[in-house]
Amino acid sequence: MEMIKRIAMTATATIFIGSSVFAQSLADAKKAIDAEQYQKAKTMLKGLTTTQPNSAENQFYLGWTYIKQEYADSAKAAFNKGIAADGKFALNFVGLGAAARLDKDEAGATSNFNQALSLSPKDTKVYDYVGRSYLLIVAPATTVSQANAESAIAVLEKGKTANPKVKDAELYVTAGNALISQLKSNDAYKNYSEALAIDPKSVTAHVAEGVLWRYANNWESATNEFNAALTIDPNFGPAYREWAETDLRQANKDIKVASAKVKEGVEHYRKYLSLTDMSIESQLRYADFLYNAGEFKTLQEVTAQLAKSAASNLRVYRYLGYSALENKDYDAGITALNKFIGEAGEKRVLATDYLNLGRLKLAKSDSTGINDLKKAYAMDTTKADVFLEIAKDAYGKKKYADAGNAYQEYFDKSKKGTLQERFAQALSYFFAFDSNNPKADSAVLVKADSAFSYIERKATTPVAAVYQYKGYIADLKDADRNNIKGLAKPYYEKYITLTSAKPTLSDADKRYLAAAYVYMANLYEYKDKDEAKTLEAYTKAKEYDPANKSVVAYFARKTAPAKTTK
């Protein structure tokens, strides 16, 4: 009897297990994709493609899961299997177009989208997924471009009227997403509202409306929408993620609730993570969140742990490198970014990867970092600021001529430059000149003078330091010390006027004023032979810096007893 009972229980368990597997339908897989449970979705879809090998639809959603993870090659393999199973199922051509976009093959994307639309001109899903494909953000971009948004909006508008018998809530959500990417909030709201009118239980529409309210800083309405989504599906992770980001935005906007909202945001994000199975992909999204939040210590800990997994995504090493830079763990950062750049392939490497690698190397006094910074600029010419970094690094290492030249590259390539940066360049060239070296390159002195003159012309108010250094340069040009022309005189006079007018003088100001007066005194004594003015200038110098060596020597001469002749 006991044996029969055990057999019956085993049979019952088998039935339930079989029912569970059977229950994991395409609808469940699609729900997992929407919930950003990509690992779970892939497991389901791989099972479905095994049990239903001739289903082109299963292959499409498997491929789309790979698209969401930016695995273009795996996605293409699934889409091509779908086309082989049913060449008239249009969505797989949409998928190939999306993969082409990830590969930056816009012509291939357009061709595949057109093929899909010609196969199924009345299928709203085809229009929806073409729209979603245009909204994919392809590195190095960080936002949807206006052109791609307009392409998405155009195809989605056609999709709304493609089949008068079908009202597709998901298509309206995608249209809203396209509009909000271009900050067209009112039009986006109309589309989200229409989606909810079609399907009041659309969790994606509720969350999208919540995000819209977040942008408007309407925290209550945003929270209501996230709660509405979670009432429909308590396990819909994206609602928690968007709620977390809303918490952080509110914390930044309202100091009174900042502490509480930051803590609440962390809890909501952890809840999001728990609902996405803590897969590599989900934790990489967590890494994105940590990176954007500037939580570099935690980011390095998380990515270092992820890097130990055999199934780790190479992107882990990018974040490990970035966070190690911020945490001053330079060796770990260099190792991580060298691995990422070496293995990721040309299409996945960003200018920022070389930028951070260069910064890591320079922090270790490895001059090859300059080449990495220049590679970053070659890949993305908007990053002309790398030449500022090169200039500052060279200046710090007392390679003054190199620093001045790097500043010039920055000015030429960026077509900008603050007066402070111009002053730094002028100082670089000034310090590059060695007055004690007979073979010193006087060309750098000319460049320094030119840079100071530029500031003199452009500054809205006179800059005392500019006249101080122009005085130094003019004095250096006054080469014949036995026949001094006083070239520096007008500059020192201007410096004295500007600096002595300050309401409060620093110790440095006093020292520099004393030095300027000493120059004037020397001029009066040796060129003009004017003892009264010489005494007056030295007296002013003594007032500002009694310890000045020239001042001390002059007054020592003045007070020394006169020599008598016998």
- Residue 417's φ and ψ, nearest 5 degrees, are 155, 125
- In angstroms, the Cα distances linking 237 to 203, 207, 275, 286, 479 are 10, 10, 5, 13, 76
Please tell me the distance from the alpha carbon of residue 158 to that of residue 19, in angstroms, as a whole number: 41
pTM over 0.75: no
Domain membership flag for residue 454: no
In a domain, residue 543? The reply is yes
Is 240 part of any domain? no
Question: How far apart are alpha carbons 483 and 473 in whole angstroms?
Answer: 17
Residue 200's SS3 state is: coil
Q: Are 405 and 398 in contact (CB under 8 A)?
A: no
Residue 468: inside a domain: yes
DSSP 562: P
Give dist(CA 239, CA 205) in Å, integer.
11
Distance CA 286, CA 259 (A): 21
Contact 358, 393 (CB under 8 A): no
CATH code of residue 473 = 1.25.40
C-alpha 82/C-alpha 472 separation (Å) is 77
Q: In the chain, what is the straight-line distance between the N-terminal and C-terminal CA atoms, in Å?
A: 144
Alpha carbon distances (Å) from 331 to 114, 186, 295: 49, 50, 20
Token pair listed for 430: 């000034």
Q: Which domain holds residue 526?
A: 461-559
Q: Is residue 477 part of a domain?
A: yes
Distance CA 403, CA 397 (A): 9
Q: State the maximum Cα–Cα separation within the chain, in Å, rounded to a whole number.
A: 144
Asked if 238 and 207 touch (Cβ cutoff 8 Å), the reply is yes
Instruction: Show Cβ contacts of residue 131 under 8 Å, excluding neighbours closer than 6 positions.
Output: 152, 153, 155, 156, 159, 171, 174, 175, 178
What is the reported pLDDT for 248? 86
314 located within any domain: no
| Burial class (CB within 10 angstroms; exposed 0-12, middle 13-18, buried 19+) of 110 | middle
The torsion of the CA quartet 306, 312, 317, 320, rounded to 10 degrees, works out to -10
Other C-beta atoms closer than 10 Å to the C-beta of 482 total: 5
Under a CB-based contact definition with an 8 Å cutoff, are residues 137 and 144 in contact? yes
Predicted local distance difference test score (pLDDT) of residue 479: 67
Would you write out the chain's pLDDT as a tens digit for each of its 566 residues?
333 333 233 333 333 333 333 346 899 999 999 999 998 999 999 999 999 999 999 999 999 999 998 899 999 999 999 999 999 999 999 999 999 999 999 999 999 999 999 999 999 999 999 999 999 999 888 899 999 999 999 999 999 999 999 999 999 999 999 999 999 999 999 999 999 999 999 999 999 999 999 999 999 999 999 999 999 999 999 999 999 999 989 988 999 998 888 878 878 988 998 898 777 777 887 787 778 777 899 999 989 998 987 667 889 999 999 999 999 999 999 999 999 999 998 888 999 999 999 999 999 999 999 999 999 999 999 999 999 999 999 999 999 999 999 999 999 999 999 999 999 999 999 999 987 776 778 899 999 999 999 999 999 999 999 999 999 999 988 866 677 889 999 999 999 999 999 999 999 999 999 999 999 999 999 899 999 999 999 999 999 999 999 999 999 998 877 665 54
The pLDDT, as a whole number, for residue 565 is 53
DSSP-derived secondary structure letter, 504: S
CA-wise closest residue to 474 among 497, 452, 498, 499:
452
Query: Which 3 state secondary structure label does DSSP give 376?
Result: helix
85 inside domain: no
Running DSSP on this structure, what letter comes out for residue 310? T
117 vs 81: CA distance, rounded Å: 19
| Triad 259, 265, 270: Cα angle to 5° | 135
Let me know if residue 541 belongs to a domain: yes
Contact by Cβ (8 Å): 283, 273:
yes
Other Cβ atoms closer than 10 A to 265: 23
What domain count does the chain have? 1
